[in-house]
Amino acid sequence: MKDKKTVIEIRNVVTRLPELRFEEPVNWQIDEGQQWAVIGPNGAGKTLIADILQRKFALKEGEVRWGYEGSASDGVKSIAFKDIYSLADCRNSYYQQRWHSTESDEMPTVAELLGEHAEEEDFHQILSLFGIEEFLPKKIIFLSSGELRKFLVIRTLLKRPRVLILDNPFIGLDAPSRAVLVDMLQRMTHLEGVQVILLLSNPEEIPEMITHVLPVKQRRCFPTCTREEFLQHSQLIAELFPTEGVNAVERVAPIVLPLAEPKEPATHEVTFRMEYVSIKYGNRTILKDLDWEVKNGEKWALFGPNGAGKSTLLSLIYADNPQSYANTLYLFDRKRGSGESIWDIKKRIGYVSPEMHLFYMENVPTLRIVGSGFFDSIGLYRKCTEEQEKIALAWMHLLGIEELKERSFLTLSSGEQRLALLARAFVKDPDLIILDEPLHGLDVSNKKRAAAIIEQFCARPGKTLIYVTHYPQELPACVNKQFELVKHS
C-alpha cells in the first residue's frame, strides 16, 4: 500500500518571540486526505498553531515544510469571523456606515465581489447549495452576521485552497446554515481535494467529516488522535474542558458585581415599544409592521433565522439606525426624536454582539476596550478615571481575563475577545442589557461562568434583558418571554 503524501509538516518549531511560544516545540504532520480539528479551551493556542502553519511568524528553531508546489499564502486560506470587516475595507466606519448607507452608495454587492468566479462551471451549483443566491444583489454592508459568514466561506472555497482553516466556523449561523456548512465542507473535501482544519472550543461541534484531532491546552499540544479516539477519550476531554467545580452558580457565587456606586433601580414603565415598525433598503423589506413592547425588568429571548433582521431591530433600540425617526418607537418611556440625544439612550444600554468583533481593529490594550463601555465609543478611547479603571479591571477579573489587561485586543483569541466585550457591556451597570449570541466561541467553563454572571446581573430590580441566540439551550433561566422574527423575501 502506497504511503500517503505529507501535505504540511511542523517540525520542532519554536517561534522567535517568547510571547508567541508554546511550552514545548510544536510538531504536527498533516497527510493527504486528512481533515483536522484543533480543539481546546479559550486561549489554548489554537489560533497560534494556525498562524505557525501559515508561516506568519519568524522562527527561532524548527521549520514548516509544505509537500506541494506553491507558496503558503496560495495553498492555505484561513477564515476567522473577525476578518469580515476587511470585505468592504470599512473597519471602524462599518458599524455606523451600515445603518446610514443607502442603495446608491458605492458599496460593492455580493455578486460583484464574487464576479471573478461567475464563469466557472460549478459557480451557481455552489451558490445554490449554500443558499446565498438570494442575496447576490445585496450590498455587502447590508448582510447579516450569518450571511457574512456564509459569503466569506463561499468566496474562500471558490479560490480552491489546498488547505482551508476555519476559526470557530459555526458562530453566527442558525441551525439550518450550520448543517449546510457541514454538508458543503464534506462535498468540497471529496470533490475538490481541499483539506479542512477547524479551530473549535466545543467537542460537540466536531462534524463527522473530521478524521483527526489535535488537542491543545495552555499552549501545549497533546498527542494527535482520530476523531473516534478523541470522542471516546473521556479523560482527555475532561482534562481539556473540566466540568468538576464549574457549576455556573457554585463556581462564581456569591458573585460580587463590580458596580460604580449604589444605584436606584430604573423606574420607567416601558423599556421600549415599537408600533408598526417597517424598515426597507431600496426594494428590500427587512422589518414589516412590527409591534413589540418590552416593559421594565422583563427578560426576553429574540429568535429568528439569519437575515431575518435581528441586527436591524437591535440597531433601532440602540439608537444607531436613523430610520428609527421614521417609525414610532419609544425608549425608556420617551418617544424617539422627542429631544433626547443618542448618548442619553446609549448610556442606559449595555450591548454585545458577534459583529462587535469587526469594529475593534486598533492595536489597543484590552483594558481600554473594556473601559470604552463607559463612553459608548467605538474607535475612540477616552481615558478612564481611576475609579472607572478599577471597575473595568474588576469585571475582567470576574470574567477570568484580568491577566490580559495589557495585551493588545487584536492578539486575543476570539473567545477571549468575546469575554472582553462582555465586560465592556456591563461596566456602566446599564438598565437594558442586549446580548446577541454572548456565549458563542466560549468553552464550557467560560460559558458557565458568563451565564452565572448574566443571571445575577439581571436578577436585580429594574434590569431588562434582550437575549439573542440560535441555541435555545443556552438561554438564561430568567428568560421567560420570547419574540420571533420571520424572514421577508
Q: Give a yes or no: residue 317 inside a domain.
A: yes
Taking the CB of residue 258, how many other CB atoms lie within 10 A of it?
18
Cα distance between the two ends of the chain: 54
Is 159 in the same domain as 285?
no
Provide the number of structural domains found in the chain: 2
Is 433 in the same domain as 308?
yes
Domain that residue 80 falls in: 6-240
Helices (H), 216-332: 227-232, 234-240, 248-252, 310-317
Q: Give a yes or no: residue 246 inside a domain.
A: no
Q: Give a yes or no: residue 245 inside a domain.
A: no
Residue 393 has pLDDT above 90, yes or no: yes
The stretch 458-483 carries a mean pLDDT of 93
Is 275 in the same domain as 411?
yes
Who has greater pLDDT, 403 or 487? 403
Which of 200, 216, 240 lies at the terminal end of a domain, its last residue? 240
- Confidence band of 401 (pLDDT split at 50, 70, 90): very high
- Confidence band of 248 (pLDDT split at 50, 70, 90): very low
Is 196 in the same domain as 61?
yes
370: closest CA among 354, 388, 343? 388
Cα–Cα–Cα angle for 380, 385, 388, rounded to 5 degrees: 90
Helices (H), 233-379: 234-240, 248-252, 310-317, 342-346, 366-371
Do 227 and 211 meet the contact criterion of CB atoms below 8 Å apart? yes
Is 217 in the same domain as 321?
no
Is 279 in the same domain as 360?
yes
Share of the chain above pLDDT 90, in %: 39
Q: Give a yes or no: residue 213 inside a domain.
A: yes
Q: Exposed, middle or buried by CB within 10 Å (0-12, 13-18, 19+), for 160?
A: middle
293-339 pLDDT tens trace = 999 999 999 999 887 888 889 988 988 777 777 888 999 999 887 77
Q: What is the pLDDT of residue 377?
A: 67
CATH number of the domain encompassing residue 336? 3.40.50.300
Q: Give a yes or no: residue 1 inside a domain.
A: no
Residue 200 has pLDDT above 90, yes or no: yes
Q: Give a yes or no: residue 298 inside a domain.
A: yes
Q: What is the pLDDT of residue 12?
A: 95
451: closest CA among 460, 438, 463, 434? 438
Is 224 in the same domain as 261?
no
Which of 240, 266, 294 lies at the terminal end of a domain, its last residue? 240
14-64 pLDDT tens trace = 999 888 889 999 999 999 889 999 999 988 999 899 999 888 888 999 999
Distance CA 339, CA 346 (A): 14
Is 307 in the same domain as 434?
yes
Q: What is the pLDDT of residue 224?
A: 96
Residue 101 has pLDDT above 70, yes or no: no
Which of 217, 240, 263 lies at the terminal end of a domain, its last residue? 240
Is 97 in the same domain as 186?
yes
Q: Exposed, middle or buried by CB within 10 Å (0-12, 13-18, 19+), for 117?
A: middle
The stretch 4-21 carries a mean pLDDT of 88
Is 289 in the same domain as 311?
yes
Is 133 in the same domain as 155?
yes
Is 271 in the same domain as 231?
no
